[in-house]
Chain A
Amino acid sequence: MKAARQLTARCAQSGRARLTRAARQYAGLSIVGAMMLACLPVLMAASESPSTPAISPPASAAPPDDGQWTMPAKNYASTRYSELAEINAGNVKNLQVAFTFSTGVNKGQEAAPLVVGSTMYIVTPFPNIVYALDLSKPGAPIKWKYEPNPEPAAQGVACCDVVNRGAAFADGRIFFNTLDGHTIALDANSGQPIWNIHIGNINVGETLTMAPLVVKGKVLVGNSGGEMGVRGWVKALDAGDGHVVWTAFSTGPDKEVLIGPDFKPHYDMDKGKDLGVTTWPPEAWKIGGGNMWGWISYDPDLNLIFHGTGNPGPWNPDLRPGDNKWTSGIFARDPDTGAAKWFYQWTPHDLHDYDGINEQILLDMNWQGKPRKVLVRPERNGYLYVLDRTTGEVLSAKPYGPVNSSKGVDLKTGRLMANPDKKTGTGKVVRDICPTASGLKDWQPSAFSPKTGLLYIPHNNLCMDEQGVEVNYIAGTPYVGMNVRMIPGPGGNRGALTAWDIAAEKPAWSLKENFPVWSGAVVTAGDIVFYGTMEGWFKAVSAKTGELLWQFKTSSGIIGQPVTYRGPDGHQYVAILSGVGGWAGAIVSGDLDPRDATAALGFVNAMKDLKNATTAGGTLYVFRLP
């Protein structure tokens, strides 16, 4: 098995080495395709004996499935796993459309629909309209609609499309964020606003795009703006009236980061006083990013929330020598007070915009013979991390795709070993850096099945050229300082869905997709994985083998989060928002010009043909068996 793993790695490496730029651009696809095919048997051989799935989320964070979908990640452990099994490998081919619904917004639809009782809730990209659909009636008519009318100017400070990643339900209320910096609580029955608090300032470049998480009567929200020199924070708002209970910044003095006597990081590199100030040039931490616009998980037993921190600003690393704490890392915090318990930095002194905000899946498993409470994180820098979630110790960090920007993670010091050949700087053009600024995986959340022990990771396969340029800080304007152009990664397929065997630390299988897989994934007890492609295909594949079982072409590219639920009629349904956009799809939703290789921070160069593959348009699709 180990030999097979090494061989696989060698295949991937030689593929990269042999691949010249010209080959990739002109004749590359077929040559590389053949090369990858040669490597395929190794991958297949490696996947023959999956280890016994003795991995499961803690019961307190993943209670028995009630058929609803009340938060985007399904549960606090963030498994995106449904126990519904009516739809299975045998009958999934019969899936048909139950109803559709136009969101009326032609921007990227990244949100997860929520289902509570017999009502479905959708939040759209800017202008952030919330729809409640009555599932108990034929065709699911609108029950109510709420328009928050956010400030249109907010669109000008939203990096990478004007998306919204969903709402959260708790205690009869729907909580969601608006692009212009409001968090709003609605009565789930009537759609009447209960409270509305303004916590983000667009004039410094702050927006809100993430889905809130409700933990112990607190609504957890973080800001976006890592490309605008915005100082990152997470706030806990009182679910009752919206007042701010605590604010934890990602940079600055310990007392503002909520680092106190309880803070016990595992590695020496994260120990010291006021590292959020001293690991920056003077005052740079005030405009240093570390934004929290991704996912939060919660362990009720340990009473800890886990959240990542975004990239440091600006992207040009010459302007911020130092480790740039506490950016591109992960915090464990007490949800009651926000006090930090531990921290681990995925990417110290980030060189390539490796935001650390991806989802973390909380699992209990035997690790090298001992039961451990772990946290699994497919990280933007290309590594699949397994951490001990009680201490922040790294148990494993293996690349789940092509990585040359670093040479691995030193498990003794916990430190990512950056590749000096790929170090960026002012005036220097560095070529073929993998993964890209968008990471081997960006925000698009993966799903874990305790039945297979596999983590289903939707991700990208892209590389890039970078050139640092001088940049001035002007509040409310971009603070990036990097010319980027992206290109397809080794193999030419720009995306993949990889099933990762967590216990064996290796992929079980991987499906290639032409475009980046910018949609989330969901997996069911029927052993089906659902995900979408940017051409618009909504796919069902076998959770065991990856075999394509069913697909449906929706009206626009899919970058949303699929969910599955039990409808009022007792049957299983699957729902997905179609509507291309996001950073990867900005070329379509923002009508960008592909003749500029640096458009959309370089992403457009890798997506030149997307305008020929799909058009914008937000539509909800819901499927069921006949």
Chain B
Amino acid sequence: MRLGFATLLSVTLALAACQREERDTRPQSSLGSGGQPTPVTTLEPGGQRPSPSNNKAASFEANAFHLSEGKRLFGWFNCSGCHANGGGGMGPALMDQKWIYGSSMESIHATIRDGRPNGMPSFRNKIPDDQIWELAAFVRSLSGNAPSSAAPQRNDDMMPHPSENRMPDAATLGKSP
């Protein structure tokens, strides 16, 4: 009996150790995800109120599969045409610590979906919503805002910069403040 319990316990523990991240290989392809308010400023008269967080953001944020898909889509949807491989060009750099319209997953998602007035196009009718979340997660990884265990590793060919899983947090460049 005691042996049986020990076996059961170890099997349970072993199985729990096998827990892997979810790989949602068939994301829903619906367009747009409603009009969730996404402030682009931290300045609110009277002080900040808690803004509702989005479950979607959390499920995409630290997920290796979604980050790697985001990297692929970053090229396929021509994001790289303007932002290069994060250093910028026609559009601003994405690998530095400067965020014009906010650094949260929700803000980046809104930027891609709805566009911004100084040149960022709206991709609302071009990119399925879940893929926008994947792009947002990848964009954050460019400035070191993704766990190194999940961010994409080195390219097979030309390396324009260190791989995303080695990028330091742009805000601190790896140093403590």
Q: Which of A156, A429, A469, A592 contacts B87 (CB 8 A)?
A: A592
* B-chain residues with CB within 8 Å of residue A153 when the two chains form the complex: 115, 117-119, 121
In whole angstroms, what is the CA distance A483 to B115 when docked? 25
In whole angstroms, what is the CA distance A177 to B25 when docked? 48
Q: Which of A427, A479, A590 contacts B81 (CB 8 A)?
A: A479
* B-chain residues with CB within 8 Å of residue A462 when the two chains form the complex: none
Q: Tell me whether B145 is interfacial, beta carbon within 8 Å.
A: no
Q: Is the CB of A160 within 8 A of B119?
A: no
In whole angstroms, what is the CA distance A393 to B99 when docked? 54
The listed residue with most A CB atoms (<10 A of its CB), out of B90, B93, B120, is: B90
Task: Report whether over half of chain B's contact residues are helix, strand or loop; otherwise say mixed.
Answer: loop
* A-chain residues with CB within 8 Å of residue B118 when the two chains form the complex: 152-153, 155-156
Q: Is the CB of A156 within 8 A of B158?
A: no
Q: Which residue of B lies closest to A600 (CB)?
A: B89
Q: Which of B81, B117, B158, B161 contacts A467 (CB 8 A)?
A: B158
Q: Which residue of A lies closest to B142 (CB)?
A: A596
Interface string of B73-100 (1 = CB under 8 A from A): 0011110011011111111110110100
Q: Which of B77, B84, B85, B119 contacts A156 (CB 8 A)?
A: B119
Show 23 A/B contacts (Cβ-Cβ < 8 Å), sorted by A: A153-B119, A153-B121, A156-B118, A158-B90, A227-B90, A429-B158, A467-B157, A474-B77, A483-B85, A483-B158, A483-B160, A590-B92, A591-B98, A592-B87, A592-B88, A592-B93, A593-B93, A595-B161, A596-B86, A596-B161, A597-B85, A597-B87, A604-B84
Count of chain B residues near A, Cβ 8 A: 31
Closest beta carbon of chain B to A609's beta carbon, Å? 15
Q: Is the CB of B95 within 8 A of A160?
A: no
Inter-chain contact count A-B, CB under 8 Å? 123
* B-chain residues with CB within 8 Å of residue A612 when the two chains form the complex: none
- Please judge, given known A-B contacts A154-B119, A156-B120, A157-B119, whether A593 and B91 are in contact too, CB under 8 Å: no
Count of chain A residues near B, Cβ 8 A: 40
In whole angstroms, what is the CA distance A600 to B93 when docked? 10
Q: Is the CB of A598 within 8 A of B160?
A: yes
- Please judge, given known A-B contacts A155-B119, A478-B82, whether A472 and B87 are in contact too, CB under 8 Å: no
- Please judge, given known A-B contacts A153-B119, A156-B118, A485-B160, whether A596 and B87 are in contact too, CB under 8 Å: yes
Q: Tell me whether B126 is interfacial, beta carbon within 8 Å.
A: yes
* B-chain residues with CB within 8 Å of residue A480 when the two chains form the complex: 81
Q: Tell me whether A391 is interfacial, beta carbon within 8 Å.
A: no
Cβ-closest 8 pairs across A and B? A156-B119, A478-B81, A596-B87, A599-B87, A593-B93, A477-B78, A155-B119, A598-B160
Q: Is the CB of B84 within 8 A of A598?
A: yes
- A sample of 19 more A-B contacts (CB under 8 A), given A596-B160, A599-B84, is A157-B119, A471-B78, A472-B76, A472-B77, A476-B121, A479-B78, A485-B160, A591-B88, A591-B96, A592-B89, A596-B86, A596-B87, A596-B95, A596-B161, A597-B87, A599-B88, A599-B89, A604-B84, A604-B89
Q: Which residue of A lies closest to B98 (CB)?
A: A591
Closest beta carbon of chain B to A47's beta carbon, Å? 39
In whole angstroms, what is the CA distance A152 to B90 when docked? 13
In whole angstroms, what is the CA distance A488 to B100 when docked? 32
Q: Is the CB of B89 within 8 A of A601?
A: yes
Q: Is the CB of B95 within 8 A of A593?
A: yes
* A-chain residues with CB within 8 Å of residue B75 when the two chains form the complex: 469-470
